[in-house]
């Protein structure tokens, strides 16, 4: 009798958990928005940022102007928290400038950041950073004038179909590797879930969004240090992955629901979570703390130290995952379940426990990927940011080989490099399309993917 009541009690607890989560998120979002940035709520596309003289000192009253080729001109003045945003009519090329006369005495703007070209393409918002400090303290050599201080670390090319140059090639190679590594963190979660359960999780993008939004709340609303916030995101994302399996997918497995029906459940879950995030945080973008790390020059292009740290962290995490899968007992059990769940169960492996661990690991990796992606696109977070790159995550998994964690890494690197290098010759808006065309071409000649194995039929 007691065993039959436990599932009912568990399901009654789920709405309470969701309500509590919603209240916590809404309180955090309200605190973070206490000083709203000037913006036009009728505009779906916008430039935004925070003007600071150092990480702890926002500058109020600074005037920012955005102009477009069609005669558009928008102006914003930073609030007490240094935030500003300018709504624009739609995708296109714009010039964003800062009024140097509104900068406080004793400070100056990097001459290369006074007026710069930007492109709004595949994302609705573009973060713009201005390097401000003491006069004469700026390194002005070789900046490409991209979406952030070092040129293109925001992940968006500012030059649609620009001519090829070696300096841009180096910058795009670095940015593509950075993008590929953060894609790999999310793609490995997808491929592990697919390998152990056979489910393509279309709600995986919302795991990425969840990590970015939690990081935004911890750093902006609660003003916690970055390293504490990262740990908090990892814990929250692991719990989010655990909740996915415990509340939804394990009960579906027990009822032996077909994979097609489970696939539809993931699509519905994706939509529900996406608009839940929109309800809590609104339909616009929120800006994270400005990246004021040092800039290192590599010949003809500049790279921020924070981006190097991001790549090193990604590589270390990926090496850790590789060690986990190949050297630990749980990792070997995960591979056994992925290869043949029935045989693994017959040999004494607790399949449900392995799947639960996979969901927790996938949530953790994807939450970290959300933080890195938020800074990659200009230190901004959105309610649908994970959905925007969901197709690229699936492309990485499919290109590398479904069910292969190492294939997901290779596929993500190919997608990241192809996405960024294509902007040397093609308009920015086509960069995602180029990656998907490569996916189609590879699958035409090798349907199992780069590192996938052929399946026997019959």
What pLDDT is stored for residue 230 in this prediction?
A: 95
Q: Copy the structure tokens of residue 179.
A: 């993008």
What pLDDT is stored for residue 22 in this prediction?
A: 52
First-to-last CA distance in the chain?
Answer: 45
What pLDDT is stored for residue 328 in this prediction?
A: 94
The domain segmentation of the chain, as residue ranges, is 45-140, 169-445
d(CA 155, CA 308): 14
Q: Which string of b and e fits 238-276 if b means at least 16 CB within 10 Å? A: bebbbbbbeebbbebbeeeeeeeebeebbeebbeebbeb
Q: Copy the structure tokens of residue 316.
A: 């270390």
What pLDDT is stored for residue 8 in this prediction?
A: 42
* CB 140 within 8 Å of CB 132: no
CATH entry 1.10.1760 includes domain 169-445: no
What pLDDT is stored for residue 21 in this prediction?
A: 52
What pLDDT is stored for residue 43 in this prediction?
A: 55
What pLDDT is stored for residue 320 in this prediction?
A: 95
CATH entry 2.60.40.10 includes domain 45-140: yes
What pLDDT is stored for residue 318 in this prediction?
A: 95
Q: Which string of b and e fits 140-167 if b means at least 16 CB within 10 Å? A: eebbbebbbbbbbbbbbbbbbebeeeee
Residues of the chain short of pLDDT 70, as ranges, are 1-44, 54-56, 121-125, 136-167, 290-294, 299-301, 452-458
What pLDDT is stored for residue 210 in this prediction?
A: 97
Instruction: Give the pTM.
Output: 0.70
Beta bridge partners of 382: 285
d(CA 196, CA 359): 10
User: Tokens 């010759």 — which residue?
Assistant: 425
**DSSP-derived 3-state class of residue 56:** coil
Count of alpha carbons within 13 Å of 443, Cβ hemisphere only? 15
* CB 67 within 8 Å of CB 94: yes
Computed over its alpha carbons, how large is the radius of gyration of the chain?
A: 23
User: Tokens 């005495």 — which residue?
Assistant: 105
**DSSP-derived 3-state class of residue 94:** strand
Backbone angles phi, psi at 77, to 5 degrees: -120, 130
């Amino acid at each position: 009798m007691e065993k039959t009541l436990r599932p009912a009690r568990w399901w009654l607890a789920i709405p309470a958990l969701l309500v509590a989560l919603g209240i916590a998120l809404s309180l955090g979002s309200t605190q973070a928005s206490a000083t709203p940035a000037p913006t036009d709520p009728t505009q779906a596309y916008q430039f935004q940022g925070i003007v600071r003289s150092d990480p702890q000192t926002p500058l109020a009253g600074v005037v920012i102007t955005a102009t477009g080729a069609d005669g558009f001109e928008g102006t914003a003045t930073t609030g007490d928290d240094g935030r500003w945003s300018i709504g624009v009519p739609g995708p296109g090329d714009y010039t964003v400038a800062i009024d140097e006369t509104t900068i406080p005495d004793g400070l100056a703007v990097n001459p290369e950041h006074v007026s710069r070209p930007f492109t709004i393409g595949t994302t609705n918002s573009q973060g713009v950073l201005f390097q401000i400090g003491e006069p004469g303290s700026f390194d002005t050599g070789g900046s490409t004038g991209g979406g952030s201080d070092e040129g293109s670390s925001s992940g968006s090319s500012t030059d649609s179909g620009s001519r090829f140059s070696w300096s841009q090639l180096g910058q795009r190679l670095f940015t593509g590797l950075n993008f590929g590594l953060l894609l790999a963190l999310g793609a490995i979660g997808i491929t592990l879930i697919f390998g152990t359960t056979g489910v393509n999780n279309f709600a995986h993008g919302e795991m990425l969004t969840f990590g970015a939004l939690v990081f935004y709340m911890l750093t902006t609303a609660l003003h916690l240090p970055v390293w504490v916030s990262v740990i908090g995101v990892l814990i929250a994302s692991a719990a989010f992955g655990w909740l996915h399996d415990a509340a939804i997918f394990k009960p579906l497995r027990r009822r032996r629901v077909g994979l097609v029906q489970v696939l539809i459940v993931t699509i519905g879950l994706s939509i529900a979570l996406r608009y839940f995030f929109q309800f809590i945080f609104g339909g616009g973008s929120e800006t994270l703390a400005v990246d004021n790390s040092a800039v290192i020059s590599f010949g003809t292009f500049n790279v921020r130290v924070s981006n190097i740290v991001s790549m090193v962290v990604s590589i270390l995490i990926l090496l850790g995952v590789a060690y986990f899968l190949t050297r630990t007992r749980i990792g070997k059990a995960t591979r056994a379940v992925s290869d043949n769940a029935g045989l693994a169960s017959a040999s004494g492996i607790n399949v449900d426990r392995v799947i639960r661990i996979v969901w927790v690991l996938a949530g953790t990796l994807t939450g970290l990927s959300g933080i890195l992606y938020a800074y990659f696109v200009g230190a901004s977070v959105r309610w649908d940011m994970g959905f925007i790159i969901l197709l690229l995550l699936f492309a990485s998994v499919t290109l590398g080989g479904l069910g292969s964690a190492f294939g997901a890494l290779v596929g993500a690197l190919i997608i990241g490099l192809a996405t960024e290098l294509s902007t040397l010759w093609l308009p920015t808006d086509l960069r995602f399309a180029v990656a998907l065309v490569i996916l189609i071409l590879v699958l035409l000649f090798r349907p199992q993917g780069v590192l996938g194995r052929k399946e026997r039929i019959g």
